[in-house]
Structure 1
Amino acid sequence: MSPVLSVQNLTTSFLVDGQWKSVVRNISFDVMPGETLAIVGESGSGKSVTSLSAMGLLPKGQSRTEGKIVLNGRDLLQLSEREMRGVRGNEMAMIFQEPMTSLNPIFTIGRQIAEVLTRHRGMTAEEARAETIRTLEKVRIPNAKGRFDEYPHQFSGGMRQRVMIAMALAARPKLLIADEPTTALDVTIQGQILDLIKQLQEEEGMSVLFITHDMGVVAEIADRTVVMLRGEQVETGPTAEIFHNGREPYTRALLASVPKLGSMEGRALPLRFPRVDMTNGEMTAPTEMRDTVDHRKTPVLEVRNLVTRFPIRGGLFGRITGAVHAVENVSFTVHQGETLSLVGESGCGKSTTGRSLMRLVEPQGGDVQLDGHDVLRLDARGLRGLRRSVQMIFQDPFSSLNPRMTVGQAVAEPFLHHKLGSRAQARDKAADLLERVGLSADMLGRYPHEFSGGQRQRIAIARALSLGPKVIVADESVSALDVSIKAQVCNLLMDLQEEFNLAFLFISHDMAVVERVSHRVAVMYLGEIVEIGPRAALFSNPQHDYTRKLMAAVPVPDPARRGVRRNLAVDDLKSPVRAPDYVPPQRDYREVAPGHFVMVA
């Protein structure tokens, strides 16, 4: 049996400062008919460049591709650009990581898919419309006929990704290249997309080249796996063999860094990740945190009946026509030295909750007591004082760090702004904090662009610590990081929590990481907490349907689950938009175990 795609000695280089610099070196692999091959590696490993080389989508003149890329017997590197246009979409198609930037915002989604059919399969407009609707139904978009004439912005992230898959499948290619197609999606949407790709592969008999850094996804979807590191292929083999008997140190280190849902069974306290040397694969055993929480003391943060709504205006005079009920009657406490995780899908209100208690957005009601401050009644001067007690770590450190300031200036700025000492003292403080977060003091003069994503997140953590806060709100602070960097940053946060007795409000959609780092967990849905309790109780005995749905959707790094279907319902998160006169129902909670409460339906 001949491979659908055969890549032999692929080397891809880019022109940098007049010199050719190779970023992918001597990569070879085959994708057989009906097979899924995963290319896995961290950011900068060259996996996406490999797929773009195969598609012929790298910039002409600035890139050079050598070797052989043979698709169905034809060497793609010998084809003209006109011939490649006939191959793309027709014989092989690609799903990109970010559907919003891949879909044209000024055309309806129906028109964008129909264009593939009229161009590659010579259909009339009427035939293309009927086939597009059939394809949309195939990728499980509800009311496909009615949504044909809608625009990309009218679809959720998960539905936009389904549109991208429909577009890729429209001309029935023999090879589908999926480049990180689930990375930006919530865990339940990710589960749906993985199920969909498996099902469509069976129905269409396609081969799939799946590019990802998520080892859980690899275990569930791939027949064989290629592991890449810094542009080179370090290991190739059947997925089960790679997972159970990985020969290369980097492969073993990568797998050791992956959090596995259920691995915390029988443990009451958060557990650090193994400390792994990614070059030689050596690792130290994970250690449990000390119990730093004293529940007899007054909580450092108390939130009672918090309400945050955003008005929607419309009509000629800009009248209020409705409101987004982002946070509705939310209550919880956090003690010194404790981590409370807020989990839920995009749009559930968890980030707005964090911003509301810091007054980065203004709540409409409730009561927030933070380290003795009555937060919602503070004036501007009082709010400045509040910043010393609570700091925030944002998801994207690059956009939260000023590119014109050195990291030393960025870390020292809060210290100087609050007049806590001289410039010399601020510099010493910044140097000490950089050392505490695993960087060195001689990096003070560098700028944010000179650091990797993981290092920038460490700088953001150092800046958050500069005022000696009691509470840190970590808003998706590890979700954009590679798996090994994610493990390192989580370990750092737990080390700092022990050292400074910090309280964390850890906002995340990653259930496996949440299970590892939390003392307690609150699950949010449509602006409300539907379940809250000690981490061990909530994960071992989830009571609410939505909590169970979140857990069922988490990819598990176990190749034995290959072929498992979650059969998650294909539905978007319901809208939190309500009419101006809407009165929320009174909610009741049932205590199912000590401290474990679930909303009564």
Structure 2
Amino acid sequence: MSLAETSTEATGEPAGTVLSVRDLSTSFKVENRWHTVVRNVSFDVGARETVAIVGESGSGKSVTSLSIMRLLPKASSRIEGSVRLENRELLTLPDEQMRQVRGNEISMIFQEPMTSLNPIFPIGKQIAEALTVHRDISRAEAKSEVIRLLEKVRIPNAKNRYDEFPHQFSGGMRQRVMIAMALASKPKLLIADEPTTALDVTIQGQILDLIKTLQDEEGMSVLFITHDMGVVAEVADRTMVMFRGEVVESGATGDIFHRGQHPYTRALLSAVPRLGSMVQRTLPQRFPLIDVKTGEQQIQVDVTDTVSRRKTPILQVRDLTTRFDIHSGLFGRKTGAVHAVEKVSFDLFEGETLSLVGESGCGKSTTGRSITRLITPTSGQIMIDGFDVMSLDKHALRTMRRSIQMVFQDPFASLNPRMSIGSAVMEPYLEHSLGSKQQARDKAADLLEKVGLSADMMRRFPHEFSGGQRQRIAIARALMLDPKVIVADEAVSALDVSIKAQVCNLLLDLQQSLKLAYLFISHDMAVVERVSHRVAVMYLGEIVEIGPRAAVFENPQHPYTRKLMAAVPIPDPSRRGLKRNISTDEIKSPIRPVDYVPPARHYREVSHGHLVQVP
């Protein structure tokens, strides 16, 4: 049975078809030859219905959405088949009429908001433009409507942020701006292309709730493109699974989850981290992986205990405070400060993973950058492998950084596009004068093999690799200096679900063989539960709860910890339609006046090593 045929059956009642796609094929011209990347895709989206297209990078799901919107370059692409919006054929519509359809009847949210927002215009004016282009509305009315939309997607202090620019917003905030812009004209169909991938778990939960609410209120239909099966389970009436440009399985979401037939479907489902899967396990656990061709689960070897029993931690942080001064007025006087990190303390031992979790703006990334002195802390004490980090001069700082390395969220941004990956991996070794060029090449080749790549890839450039492969390259480069500590700053958050599982397994394998200590910064609670020995929850620059992973996850004490866990999408289709009703209270600002004195914080011990901040 085709996906189109299951429309009425899956939703339980006849639904007017908003979008009908038949035999959609998309090809790209490369070196004067046409290469088909999407083949014979057919589906319907009914009124008030959510259809999910799920698959990994390169499966063709985003190309499908861009083909529907006719956003692909005419000179190098060819779209065949039929795309009908309420009985109007879009593929043959004149360009001017298609422009009226885009943003008015069909809106689209992209994964990376910074590429969709104009950096030189305030966000308020950009959203207002989406209104004034399609509606006869005054400037004052447009501004009022924009502020209402910004409040609806939970932008704090929306009225004052109307005139701010995209660079003044965090990644999650920018995505909320894009969602507000997409909803401005109350479209019949919303195409959401990985809209929650880069968002914090609580914000993701709120956006999913918001989309469900808008469907109830506006009768809006949604085509939801994602690789997150937990999100699919919670939002989709029907699901189609794409693999290498083709639909390999389609049907009601419950059938796909409970009776999925294709090996690739089962592989996607098996790689989804499930909150609560680590009950009664004390050590981190590798992710199960399934061969997409055979559907067979690979043999999983248990992780052995790697935590050093030495009393001296490899990393000690005491009362770490990082603030950023705010200057304003004609003379640029200091008028306040962003209290990004406020008196944070913790230890990290050899072979241990301590995860810092929290939402965007809570200070977790600033903590990681402060520890490595990529940002200069305001005060506190940091000891790394015997180095007093706060007192180091420029030369000593270079030496210290051999002991601690960072792996960033976006490997493409941290790799030089003009430098071969062999040169990029060798560079730290040569910069620190640790050996000859041949020794560097040999070590780089060995590390690339260790992270699951081959040495003959060293001549290739970053653009020739997938996102998961680039992250493996970044890990190999971080290991070139034989560090004792690795700060993994959202290192797997942007990866496909099975690639995320592979990279997490790689990190666990490397920890076991090299006795590495990880400071694992993430907002993905299900992944954190799987890879951590201990967990620290951060809120507004402070640690509000810290303890062994089992203690924090099985007995969360702080209200914010419980809120984070309640927001995690659960891959269970029976929860579809359920709204979490996550609090939409305005996020408190970390900006404080010049004379602000932080209150003294006290902690109570719930169990051994499990501390929670006393309100």
Separation in structure 1 between the aligned mates of residue 517 and residue 298 of structure 2, nearest angstrom? 26
Separation in structure 2 between the aligned mates of residue 347 and residue 143 of structure 1, nearest angstrom? 15
Q: Offset of 1:177 from its aligned partner? A: 1.5
Query: Which residue identity does 1:402 align to in structure 2?
Result: N
Q: Offset of 1:521 from its aligned partner? A: 0.4
CA contact (8 A) 1:156 1:572 kept: no
Q: Summarize the Cα distance change of 1:463–1:206 in structure 2 as closer, same or farther, 3 Å threshold.
A: same
1:481 aligns with 495
2:339 aligns with 325
Task: Tell me if 1:189 matches 2:182.
Answer: no
2:466 to 409, 433, 452: 452
Q: Deviations over 1:466-509 (max 9, x none)?
A: 22211111111111111111110100110011101111111111
Q: Offset of 1:154 from its aligned partner? A: 6.3
Q: Summarize the Cα distance change of 1:334–1:15 in structure 2 as closer, same or farther, 3 Å threshold.
A: same
2:24 aligns with 10
Separation in structure 2 between the aligned mates of residue 142 and residue 507 of structure 1, nearest angstrom? 24
Q: Summarize the Cα distance change of 1:322–1:493 in structure 2 as closer, same or farther, 3 Å threshold.
A: same
Separation in structure 2 between the aligned mates of residue 417 and residue 380 of structure 1, nearest angstrom? 14
CA contact (8 A) 2:100 2:134 kept: yes
Query: Which residue identity does 2:302 align to in structure 1?
Result: E
SS of 1:415's equivalent? helix
Moved more, 485-494 or 424-433: 424-433
Separation in structure 2 between the aligned mates of residue 381 and residue 145 of structure 1, nearest angstrom? 47
2:431 aligns with 417
Q: Summarize the Cα distance change of 1:418–1:131 in structure 2 as closer, same or farther, 3 Å threshold.
A: closer
SS of 2:570's equivalent? coil
Task: Tell me if 1:205 matches 2:186.
Answer: no
Query: Which residue identity does 1:428 align to in structure 2?
Result: D
Query: Which residue identity does 2:39 align to in structure 1?
Result: R
1:331-410 equivalences in 2 (<5 Å)? 331-410=345-424
Moved more, 315-324 or 561-570: 315-324
Query: Which residue identity does 2:525 align to in structure 1?
Result: M
Q: Summarize the Cα distance change of 1:517–1:309 in structure 2 as closer, same or farther, 3 Å threshold.
A: same
Moved more, 213-222 or 17-26: 17-26
CA contact (8 A) 1:273 1:491 kept: yes
SS of 1:411's equivalent? helix
Separation in structure 2 between the aligned mates of residue 43 and residue 151 of structure 1, nearest angstrom? 30
1:119-518 equivalences in 2 (<5 Å)? 119-123=133-137, 157-158=171-172, 160-518=174-532
Q: Summarize the Cα distance change of 1:173–1:389 in structure 2 as closer, same or farther, 3 Å threshold.
A: closer
Moved more, 166-175 or 476-485: 166-175
CA contact (8 A) 1:105 1:152 kept: yes
Query: Which residue identity does 1:408 align to in structure 2?
Result: G
Q: Summarize the Cα distance change of 1:167–1:421 in structure 2 as closer, same or farther, 3 Å threshold.
A: closer
CA contact (8 A) 2:156 2:586 kept: no
Separation in structure 1 between the aligned mates of residue 586 and residue 489 of structure 2, nearest angstrom? 23
SS of 2:217's equivalent? helix
Q: Deviations over 1:514-564 (max 9, x none)?
A: 000000000111111110000000000111111111111111111111111
Separation in structure 2 between the aligned mates of residue 92 and residue 50 of structure 1, nearest angstrom? 14
Separation in structure 1 between the aligned mates of residue 559 and residue 249 of structure 2, nearest angstrom? 41
SS of 1:320's equivalent? strand
Separation in structure 2 between the aligned mates of residue 592 and residue 129 of structure 1, nearest angstrom? 49
RMSD across aligned positions (CA): 2.3
Q: Offset of 1:572 from its aligned partner? A: 4.7
Moved more, 311-320 or 298-307: 311-320
1:79 to 84, 89, 93: 93
SS of 2:103's equivalent? coil
Query: Which residue identity does 2:459 align to in structure 1?
Result: G
Moved more, 506-515 or 269-278: 269-278
SS of 1:78's equivalent? coil
Task: Tell me if 1:57 matches 2:71.
Answer: yes
Q: Summarize the Cα distance change of 1:199–1:407 in structure 2 as closer, same or farther, 3 Å threshold.
A: same
Moved more, 358-367 or 234-243: 358-367
Identity fraction in percent: 72
Q: Summarize the Cα distance change of 1:560–1:405 in structure 2 as closer, same or farther, 3 Å threshold.
A: same
Q: Offset of 1:240 from its aligned partner? A: 0.9
Q: Offset of 1:423 from its aligned partner? A: 2.4
Q: Offset of 1:585 from its aligned partner? A: 1.1
1:67 aligns with 81
2:543 to 507, 529, 534: 529
SS of 2:284's equivalent? coil
Q: Summarize the Cα distance change of 1:286–1:21 in structure 2 as closer, same or farther, 3 Å threshold.
A: same
SS of 1:284's equivalent? coil
TM-score (ref. length: structure 2): 0.92
Separation in structure 1 between the aligned mates of residue 124 and residue 396 of structure 2, nearest angstrom? 53
Separation in structure 1 between the aligned mates of residue 315 and residue 455 of structure 2, nearest angstrom? 33
CA contact (8 A) 1:41 1:228 kept: yes
Separation in structure 2 between the aligned mates of residue 408 and residue 199 of structure 1, nearest angstrom? 50
1:570 aligns with 584
CA contact (8 A) 1:38 1:218 kept: yes
Query: Which residue identity does 1:277 align to in structure 2?
Result: D
Q: Offset of 1:352 from its aligned partner? A: 1.4
CA contact (8 A) 2:198 2:493 kept: no
Gapped runs of 5+ residues in structure 1?
none
Q: Offset of 1:428 from its aligned partner? A: 1.6
Count residues with an aligned counterpart: 601
Q: Offset of 1:410 from its aligned partner? A: 2.3
Separation in structure 2 between the aligned mates of residue 464 and residue 544 of structure 1, nearest angstrom? 35
Separation in structure 2 between the aligned mates of residue 114 and residue 404 of structure 1, nearest angstrom? 39
Q: Offset of 1:415 from its aligned partner? A: 2.4
CA contact (8 A) 1:531 1:599 kept: yes
Q: Summarize the Cα distance change of 1:127–1:489 in structure 2 as closer, same or farther, 3 Å threshold.
A: closer
CA contact (8 A) 2:289 2:498 kept: no
Q: Deviations over 1:260-296 (max 9, x none)?
A: 1111111111000013323332222544311121344
Separation in structure 2 between the aligned mates of residue 167 and residue 499 of structure 1, nearest angstrom? 48
